[in-house]
Amino acid sequence: MPSYANARKDVGKINLFRVGGIRISIDFSWFVIFVLILWSLSVGYFPREFPAQNAYSYWGAGIVATLLFFLSVIFHELAHSLIAIRSGLQIPEITLFIFGGISKLSEDAKDAAAAPHGAAKRRGSVEDTSPTL
Ligand SMILES: [Zn+2]
């Protein structure tokens, strides 16, 4: 039976799928950056670079490009997780949020090399908030 604390951790998140035992989820704050990127591509970038197309093309290309961008963020986090798992750590979850992705560690980072971008050792989770835009 899930405890109250565990149930509370899932508030504000949507679980998407699992990859190799790692749960991939999105925080509600992610929708803000999703809309901003989608809008800037569909209203700014694509009309400027590919003029004289219809709005459906711009928004369709914007949705595809935005989803591919966030897929690349998930791959980035999975790469961190692979290194961490090879170092003997467990990664139960990757969460996308407004500033990027977070790979959660289930225990202390024993090896600083396993922490994303040389992040300081920390109990509970390692945040990978490096801007990827
Ligand atoms: Zn990273």
Q: Find the 4 Cα to ligand 1 centroid distance in Å.
A: 31
Q: Find the 101 Cα to ligand 1 centroid distance in Å.
A: 8
Average pLDDT over residues 63-79: 94
Q: So what's the pLDDT on residue 132?
A: 43
Q: Are 26 and 16 in contact (CB under 8 A)?
A: yes
Which residue is catalytic, options 49, 77, 93, 127?
77
User: Quick check: 107 pLDDT over 70?
Assistant: no
Give helix 30-39 / helix 55-86 axis angle, nearest 10°: 140
pTM, full prediction: 0.73
- Domain-by-domain residue ranges, the chain? 12-128
The CA–CA distances, whole Å, from 133 to 33, 113, 119 equal: 11, 24, 20
Average pLDDT over residues 67-95: 91
Q: Find the 119 Cα to ligand 1 centroid distance in Å.
A: 10
| Farthest-apart Cα atoms in the chain, separation | 57
Q: Is 93 a catalytic residue?
A: no
Average pLDDT over residues 99-120: 64
Q: Six-digit token pair at 76?
A: 């980035």
> Of the candidates 98, 7, 77, 5, which has an alpha carbon nearest to the alpha carbon of residue 15?
7
Q: Find the 6 Cα to ligand 1 centroid distance in Å.
A: 26
Average pLDDT over residues 118-132: 48
User: Quick check: 23 pLDDT over 60?
Assistant: yes
Q: So what's the pLDDT on residue 89?
A: 87
Q: So what's the pLDDT on residue 4?
A: 57
End-to-end CA, the chain:
40
Q: So what's the pLDDT on residue 37?
A: 97
The residues, any chain, with a CB within 8 Å of residue 43's CB and separated by 6 or more, are 58
E strand or H helix at 102, and its extent? Answer: strand 100-104
